[in-house]
Structure formats: structure tokens, C-alpha cells
Amino acid sequence: MTELRKLFVTGEVSGETAKVTNGGLDVNIQDQHTLALDVHFARAINGPTTLSVATAVGDRTVTVVSTSGFIDGTVVQLSSGTGKFFRAHQLGAPSGNILTLDTPVMGVFDIGSTALPLSHDLAVDGSTTPVAFQIGPIGTAIEVDITRILGVIYDVGTPSDTTFGAIVGGLTNGIVFRHFKNATSDYDNYWNAKTNGDIALLCYDLNFSSTGVGPSSSDSVRFRMTYGSPGKHGVTLRLEASDYLEILVQDDLTDLVFFDVMAQGHLVE
């Protein structure tokens, strides 16, 4: 008991003594040193294809077996079996089987790596068949901690706490944020939001703004929901192999101009 008391109260470990103030052990909080992630929730708009030519670092074009689903503005996702992935927007129509990207490729993706056309605009009609936007599943060799969710809604009209964007009356079924734990085939529902006020209650950091341009100016709703800070939820959302986060759209959101949600986090050491 005496030795345990020394360890937890005085901070003596292996002969070293840490400074103690009022019975508490002083600590230094160190940030992560792994890869930071800023990833949009997205859905596939066509089936996957593969690369027919390996990429090199800094490439602005990729060559795919099939260009079906790839159009100007499409989000192009490249992924490998090891969990490495890359996303960029497509510029213009394909030239033959070549896609031009707005961001240089950050690494080597071998022939046979997956290329997938994506959209991260949640302004879709999910009233009849719900539409899912996801982050993950990730590769089997890595784990990810998500610390923050950020979103922006552009709409024509005046948003308030009782609307969703500027959709009067809010939503009927709402958008659901959930975490699938594929290893056990179940999931956690974190929240359902039907109005801007619902989002504000969940994250508090919510702002309305207006472009003020023209008679049909686009107003926006911006929100930030933090999970990983001790002063917020105080936990991270851990994505292990085969796990994924999902936003489920269950109403007709096509009246919105644009709706985008991003997750921030980092790879786990």
C-alpha cells in the first residue's frame, strides 16, 4: 500500500520525483504526432473501378479501367488494401480513361487499386429510401480517432432555430448520426436532428450567415460539434477495422442548395 501511495500521490517512478501541487500530480498534455484527417461524409454515385496505371507522387491525373460515374466535380477516391486513401475533385470530363484532379496524388497507388466516384452533397431526397453518407470502413491495418464534426448548409431563405437550413417546419424524420461497429454487427445512434435548433442543442457552436447577394441570396448554417476535448464530450470516436460513421438522410433535402459535413481526427499511434 505504501509503494502504491508513493506512485499515485508523490509521482515517484523509477527513482524520479515529479512536482506535486496540493496533492495532485503535474502532467504535460502532448498532442498527437500521427496523420491528421479532414474527411467528408460521402456516398458512392457509381460502382468502383480500378487503376490501370500506377500513380506517382505528385500526379495530377489518374488512369482508370472504367470512367462510368466520373463527371466534372465528382470526388475521386483512391484506396489500397492497406487502408491508404486519397480524395480529390475531378476537373472536367474524362479524357479517354484519364481523370484530371484538382489536388496532386500524395503517394503511390499500384495498378489494381480501387477508384470510386463519390458525392458529399447531402442535399438529396431520402424521404422514400433513406440515403447514407459514410466515413469508412477503414483498412485492417489502421485505426482512426474522430474528434470533431463540422457542417455547412447553404439555402435560399432565412434559417432559424425552427427550420432545417431554411426548410420551414424542419424535417419529419430527421438526419441520424450513428457509428457502425461492424465486428459485432450493431451500431450506436448518437443523435437525430430535425431543426437547426436541434443541432444547436447538440453542439452549441452554430451560426447563421447571409451572402446578401441578389434577390435570392443564399443563407448558410454552420456548425461545429467537438467530441475529443475535455471541455466538450471528452471522448473520441474510435474507428477500428470495418467500423464506419454514417449520416442517414431520411427526408427530402433537395430544396437546400448544398449540405456538406466533415469529420476531423487523426490516425491512432
Mean pLDDT of the chain: 85
pLDDT of residue 124 exceeding 60:
yes
pLDDT of residue 147 exceeding 70:
yes
- Distance between CA atoms of 128 and 151, rounded to whole angstroms? 24
Q: For the chain, first and last CA: distance in Å?
A: 33
Q: Fold identical between 44-119 and 121-269?
A: no
Per-residue pLDDT, averaged over 119-126, amounts to 96
pLDDT in the model for residue 157: 85
pLDDT in the model for residue 217: 54
- Distance between CA atoms of 4 and 15, rounded to whole angstroms? 14
- Distance between CA atoms of 103 and 90, rounded to whole angstroms? 9
Whether the Cβ atoms of residue 265 and residue 37 lie closer than 8 Å to each other: yes
How does pLDDT run across 183-205, given as a tens digit for each residue? 667 888 999 999 999 999 998 78
Per-residue pLDDT, averaged over 120-142, amounts to 88
What proportion of the chain, given as a percentage, has pLDDT over 70? 81
Q: Which CATH class is domain 44-119?
A: mainly beta
Which residue, chain included where needed, has cell 434577390?
215
Burial of 92 (0-12, 13-18, 19+ CB in 10 A): exposed
User: What does residue 2 show for φ and ψ, rounded to 5 degrees?
Assistant: -60, -45
Task: List, as one string, the DSSP characters of 148-170.
Answer: EEEEEEEEES---TTSBTTBTT-
User: What does residue 198 show for φ and ψ, rounded to 5 degrees?
Assistant: -60, -45
Per-residue pLDDT, averaged over 67-87, amounts to 88
Domain ranges of the chain: 1-29, 44-119, 121-269
Give the Å distances, CA to CA, from 183 to 26, 140, 244. Answer: 38, 12, 11
- Distance between CA atoms of 234 and 146, rounded to whole angstroms? 12
How does pLDDT run across 197-249, given as a tens digit for each residue? 999 999 878 988 876 554 455 688 999 999 887 777 778 888 887 888 999 99
121-269, what's its fold? Jelly Rolls (2.60.120)
Whether the Cβ atoms of residue 88 and residue 101 lie closer than 8 Å to each other: yes
pLDDT in the model for residue 29: 54
pLDDT in the model for residue 24: 63
Closest CA to 166 of 217, 128, 222, 219: 219
| 31 Cα distance to chain centroid | 20
pTM of the predicted structure, to 2 decimals: 0.81
Closest CA to 244 of 134, 82, 156: 134
How does pLDDT run across 1-53, given as a tens digit for each residue? 444 433 333 444 445 555 555 566 665 555 667 777 788 999 999 999 999 99
